[in-house]
C-alpha cells in the first residue's frame, strides 16, 4: 500500500480547527501544530491559576479531528455557564488539565485525549514552554496577550509581535512532523495571535524554511477586528514573509466570493470579506476559489477549503 501523504497544518484557534475538520476526510496523514500563547477566557485562567499550558486551541483541534463529532465531542466542547469557579470553563480544558496531572505532562495529556476521542491525525503543541505574546503598537506602546492585543490593536494598529521570553524552544515532536511533511499549510486563523506566533519560535521557523515540502498560505476570508483591519490579501502575504524568514511559499489559497461586511461589534469596528483580483503575488501563485461559509460569511467553509487544498496538492504532486 502506498504511503499516505504527510500534511502538517500550522496555526491555532478556530481557523486551524476548521481546516483540520475538513482535511480529516481525505487520504492523508494529518497533523496540526498549535500555537500555545492563548491567555484568554478559560485557557488563560487555567494557565495563570494552575501553571498549565493553555489548553483551548488544542481542545478545539482535538474536537475537530474526532472520528465521531457527536455526543462525546460535544461533551468535550461543553462550556459551563454558571457555578462559582466553573463558569466560563470548557469541560475539555478541565479534562486536559486533569490528564496532564495524571500523566505527568501536557503533551501526554494531549495524546491521551486523542485516544479518548479517537481522532484522525495528531494534535501537537508548537512548544512545551510557557510564553507570552507581545505586540508593539504603532504608537510605541506594548500590548500583552491575545485579549489585550486586538483591543489596543484596533485603537492604535499593530507594528510587530514577539514572544516573551524571545528564545522559546520548539516542541521536538512538532519538528519531527515538519521535517517529514509533504505538504505544509500555514493558516487560516487570527493572523497575529494564532498564525504568526508559531514562527516566532526559531527552531520551528528554520524547520519550515529547510523542509522540501509544498507550502501554502491559507488567507483568511475576511479582515479581523483589532488585527488586520484594512489589510488586503497582499498585505497579509507581505507581512507574513517578515516572520517566515527564508521560507518560499508555493501558493496562496484565497477566497474569491465576497458576501458581506459585518456590523459593529462592541468597541471594535466593522470587518469585511477580502479577495484579490491578481493571479499572483510576486512569483507566488494565487489559488482562488469560493471558500466562504454562507451561514457565517466571515469564515471558511471546511469542506470547500479542504477540497481546494486537496485538488491543488494532487495536481502539483503529480
Residue 1 has pLDDT above 50, yes or no: no
Side by side, which strands form the sheet with 142-144? 142-144, 132-137, 158-164
Cα separation, 158 vs 136, whole angstroms: 6
Predicted confidence at residue 50, as pLDDT, reads 56
- Per-residue pLDDT of 261-271, as tens digits, reads 555 454 455 68
Cell of 274: 477580502
Cα separation, 126 vs 39, whole angstroms: 15
Cis peptide before 190 (omega within 30 of 0): no
Cα separation, 74 vs 68, whole angstroms: 10
Q: Bigger pLDDT: 121 or 104? A: 121
Task: Work out the number of other CB atoms within 10 angstroms of the CB of residue 83.
Answer: 9
pLDDT, averaged across the chain? 88
- pLDDT-derived band at 213, boundaries 50, 70, 90: very high
Backbone angles phi, psi at 205, to 5 degrees: -60, -45
Q: Which range, 129-133, 249-253, 260-264, has the best average confidence (pLDDT)?
A: 249-253
Average pLDDT over residues 292-317: 93
Predicted confidence at residue 267, as pLDDT, reads 47
Which of 59-73, 85-99, 190-204, 256-270 shows the lowest per-residue confidence on average (mean pLDDT)?
A: 256-270
Predicted confidence at residue 117, as pLDDT, reads 83
Cα separation, 144 vs 39, whole angstroms: 9
Average pLDDT over residues 183-197: 96
- Per-residue pLDDT of 27-49, as tens digits, reads 999 999 999 986 655 554 555 55
- Contact call for residues 288 and 317 (beta carbons, < 8 A): no
Average pLDDT over residues 282-299: 93
- Contact call for residues 190 and 224 (beta carbons, < 8 A): yes
Cα dihedral 301/306/307/311 (nearest 10): 150
Cα separation, 154 vs 156, whole angstroms: 6
Predicted confidence at residue 113, as pLDDT, reads 87
**Rg of the chain (C-alpha set):** 19
- pLDDT-derived band at 72, boundaries 50, 70, 90: low
Residue at grid coordinates 494531549: 110
Give the strand pairing for 132-137 and 142-144.
antiparallel
Residue 147, H or E segment = helix 145-156
Average pLDDT over residues 142-156: 91
User: Angle, to 10 degrees, between the axis of helix 56-65 and the axis of helix 13-23?
Assistant: 20
pTM of the model: 0.90
Average pLDDT over residues 286-313: 95
Residue at grid coordinates 510576486: 282
Which residue ranges form the domains of the chain, and what is each CATH number? 6-36+169-317 (3.40.50.10680), 37-125 (no CATH)
- pLDDT-derived band at 89, boundaries 50, 70, 90: low
Beta bridge pairs of residue 300: 292
Residue at grid coordinates 500583552: 144
- Contact call for residues 54 and 13 (beta carbons, < 8 A): no
Residue 302 has pLDDT above 90, yes or no: yes
Q: Bigger pLDDT: 201 or 96? A: 201
- pLDDT-derived band at 86, boundaries 50, 70, 90: low
Amino acid at each position: 500500500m502506498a504511503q499516505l501523504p504527510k500534511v502538517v497544518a500550522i496555526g491555532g484557534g478556530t481557523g486551524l480547527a476548521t481546516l483540520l475538520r475538513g482535511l480529516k476526510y481525505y487520504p492523508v496523514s494529518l497533523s496540526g501544530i498549535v500555537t500555545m500563547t492563548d491567555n484568554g477566557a478559560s485557557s488563560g485562567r487555567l494557565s495563570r491559576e494552575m501553571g498549565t499550558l493553555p489548553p483551548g486551541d488544542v481542545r478545539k483541534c482535538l474536537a475537530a479531528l474526532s472520528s465521531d463529532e457527536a455526543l462525546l465531542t460535544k461533551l468535550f466542547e461543553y462550556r459551563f455557564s454558571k457555578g462559582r469557579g466553573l463558569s466560563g470553563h470548557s469541560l475539555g480544558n478541565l479534562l486536559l488539565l486533569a490528564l496532564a496531572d495524571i500523566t505527568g505532562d501536557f503533551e501526554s495529556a494531549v495524546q491521551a485525549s486523542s485516544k479518548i476521542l479517537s481522532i484522525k491525525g495528531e494534535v501537537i503543541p508548537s512548544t512545551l514552554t510557557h510564553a507570552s505574546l507581545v505586540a508593539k503598537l504603532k504608537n510605541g506602546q506594548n500590548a500583552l496577550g491575545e485579549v489585550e492585543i486586538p483591543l489596543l490593536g484596533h485603537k492604535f494598529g499593530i507594528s510587530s509581535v514577539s514572544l516573551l521570553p524571545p528564545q522559546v524552544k520548539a516542541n521536538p515532536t512538532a519538528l519531527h512532523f515538519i521535517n517529514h511533511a509533504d505538504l505544509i499549510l500555514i493558516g487560516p486563523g487570527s493572523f497575529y495571535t494564532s498564525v504568526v506566533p508559531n514562527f516566532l519560535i526559531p527552531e520551528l521557523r528554520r524547520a519550515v524554511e529547510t523542509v522540501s515540502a509544498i507550502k501554502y498560505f491559507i488567507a483568511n476570508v475576511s479582515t479581523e477586528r483589532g488585527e488586520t483591519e484594512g489589510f488586503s490579501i497582499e498585505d497579509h502575504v507581505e507581512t507574513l514573509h517578515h516572520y517566515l524568514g527564508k521560507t518560499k511559499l508555493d501558493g496562496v489559497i484565497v477566497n474569491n466570493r465576497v458576501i458581506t461586511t459585518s456590523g459593529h461589534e462592541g468597541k471594535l469596528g466593522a470587518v469585511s470579506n477580502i479577495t484579490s483580483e491578481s493571479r499572483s503575488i510576486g512569483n507566488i501563485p494565487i489559488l482562488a476559489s469560493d471558500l466562504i461559509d454562507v451561514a457565517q460569511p466571515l469564515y471558511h467553509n471546511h469542506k470547500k477549503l479542504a477540497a481546494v487544498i486537496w485538488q491543488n496538492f494532487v495536481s502539483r504532486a503529480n
